[in-house]
Structure 1
């Protein structure tokens, strides 16, 4: 089980990412428009990149990390199920996940 503080930190990052999503998207579109239309001056580039860097760092989507839905484990997560590997294996063996078959070798 992951520490509760780490899980709460991840939830806070998700909220921040949703809050600043439109600001980041609009500044990225502005960068693309300036690059296509003409060669922007250095001061224009700095101004646009300053807007892109103005939101908090934790609002960046690259800082988000998937965690296991039941345990909060940050590693070995399967996107389809939202579970870590060993929890997924336990639930498949118990027959709790429909459509998943267990394998043995």
Structure 2
């Protein structure tokens, strides 16, 4: 089990990223638009830099929904390899069977 503080921090980052998503996208669009004057584009970049760092989606860490483990993460299932194995062993994931050859 991961530290509860790390899991809570990651949830806070996810919430901030969702909250500032529209504003961030609008400022990025202005900054990228070559038709706009340089001063306006630079002002948009400054506003973008003034946003909280934790509102950037790249700061979100993929963590297992069950254990909070940050490594060995399967995006399709939102769980770590260890939790996946436990759930599969108990038959809690439909269609997943133990492999043998």
TM-score under structure 2 length normalisation: 0.89
Is 1:11 the counterpart of 2:7 in the alignment?
A: no
Give distance in 2, aligned partners of 1:95 and 1:60. 38
Equivalents in 2 of 1:102, 1:82: separation in Å?
Answer: 20
Is 1:98 matched with 2:91? no
1:58 equivalenced with 2:45 (yes/no): no
Residue in structure 2 matched with residue 73 of structure 1 by the alignment: 69
TM-score scaled by structure 1? 0.86
Partner of 1:49: 45
- The number of aligned residues is 101
Structure 1 residue ranges, 4+ long, deviating more than 4 angstroms after superposition: none
Structure 1's unaligned 5+ residue stretches are: none
Note the residue ranges of structure 2 that are not aligned, 5 or more in a row.
Answer: none
CA distance in 2, matches of 1:27, 1:45: 9
Deviations 1:47-68 (Å, cap 9, x if unpaired)? 1210111210000000001111
Query: Aligned Cα RMSD in Å?
Result: 1.5
